[in-house]
């Protein structure tokens, strides 16, 4: 078999796998969105304490960038990495972006025990609130 044919077969296989994965993710996300039809940005923000609502609003907007449709109805109990199927680096990038908006300080070792095991939107909102000046 000619080498260029092997390359073409591999490229086509990768494209098909990428398309299949994207389609599967979109279907999964659409099912979640449909099951949360009554949930909006406003109901999400209202579920937080008044003093952390600006951070919650900014975080909601930031994580929309990682959703397939850009209109994902988050809940504060959502494990953000699991629900969006993103890795820790993406979560950290989003958190850093929101932290900069609120001039949050960098976390220190003293902060780690209090917030170890952060995973939910609420965990991250509270953590950033803790880091605000």
Q: Which has more pLDDT, 75 or 11?
A: 75
Which range is most confident: 12-16, 32-36, 40-44, 108-112?
40-44
pLDDT at 51: 97
Considering the chain, what is the average pLDDT of its residues? Answer: 87
Mean pLDDT of 73-102: 93
Q: Could you read off the pLDDT of 103-122 as tens digits, one per residue?
A: 999 888 887 777 778 899 99
Residue 21's pLDDT band, with cuts at 50, 70 and 90, is low
The upper half-sphere exposure of residue 38, i.e. CA atoms within 13 Å in the direction of its Cβ, equals 0
- Neighbouring C-beta atoms of residue 50, cutoff 10 Å: 8
What number does CATH give the domain 39-131? Answer: 1.10.1200
Whose tokens are 């907007």? That residue is: 61
């Amino acid at each position: 078999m000619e080498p260029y044919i092997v390359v073409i077969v591999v490229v086509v296989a990768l494209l098909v796998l990428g398309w299949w994965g994207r389609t599967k993710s979109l279907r999964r996300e659409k099912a979640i969105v449909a099951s949360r039809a009554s949930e909006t940005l406003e109901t999400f923000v209202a579920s937080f304490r008044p003093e952390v609502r600006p951070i919650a609003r900014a975080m909601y907007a930031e994580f929309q960038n990682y959703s397939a449709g850009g209109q994902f109805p988050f809940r504060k109990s959502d494990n953000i990495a699991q629900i969006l199927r993103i890795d820790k680096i993406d979560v950290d990038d989003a958190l850093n972006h929101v932290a900069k908006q609120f001039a949050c300080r960098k976390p220190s070792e003293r902060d780690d025990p209090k917030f170890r095991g952060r995973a939910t939107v609420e965990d991250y909102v509270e953590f950033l609130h803790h880091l605000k000046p």
